[in-house]
Each structure stands twice: as C-alpha cells, then as structure tokens.
Amino acid sequence: MKTGYVAEDAGLDAEEQWYEDNLEDFVSGDPKDRASLIKAAAEAPVILGEKKQMISIRLDQADLKVLKKKAERAGLGYQTMVSALLHQYAVGDLVNVEEARKLFRKAR
C-alpha cells in the first residue's frame, strides 16, 4: 500500500521504500497520537541527495538495551531509532518532556 508520506522523488532505497509502503502497519496506539505522528512525518523536510555515513559509537549497555526495546515496540531497528533521535536533536526538534510539561502547566 503506497502511503504517500514521502515525496516520490526522495530516492528511497528498497528497505526505506518498504517502510514507506507499509507505514500503516507500524503506527499503532491512540488514534490521536497516530494522527499527529503521520502529520509530523508528512510535514518533515526531505533532504534529497544526503548520503548516510557509517560511524562507530560507544553507548552505555543499559541505554542500548532500552533503545532496542523502544525500537522494537515502535517496529523499527534500533539503529534507525538512534539515527532519528540524533536527527531530531540536530534540527532542534528533540523536546525535554519535563520542560514541555512545565510549559503546558503554565499555559493552562
């Protein structure tokens, strides 16, 4: 099933295209959360022509174990999740939950 969440000319590799085509099978949970995830994915900028670079990184074993469990629950590979987290941090989209809660409480 083609979802259309990524620009057709994004140059996805076979695995990325498979995830794009099967996205609906992986997004679960509260329909409100699901809708916001799909909206965010649709609005995310697609950087064409950017190549991935292999790196080596040392992580705390406990952190890696938690990341792998969270990735599995999300239907992702843990390396994909780590890459997504790093990307969110790099573009300023990673939010500190406690800070967000404080702001939300102030706004009410």
pLDDT value, residue 62: 95
Q: Which residues contact 12 (CB under 8 A, 6 or more apart)?
A: 6, 20
Residue pLDDT, tens place only, 33-89: 666 766 776 666 655 556 778 889 999 999 999 999 988 888 888 998 888 888 888
What is the domain partition of the chain in residue ranges?
1-48, 52-108
Q: What is the pTM of this model?
A: 0.47
Residue pLDDT, tens place only, 9-21: 566 777 777 777 7
Closest by CA to 87, choosing from 62, 38, 63, 52, is: 52
Q: How far apart are CA 27 and CA 34, in angstroms?
A: 6
Higher pLDDT among residues 1 and 68, named by residue: 68
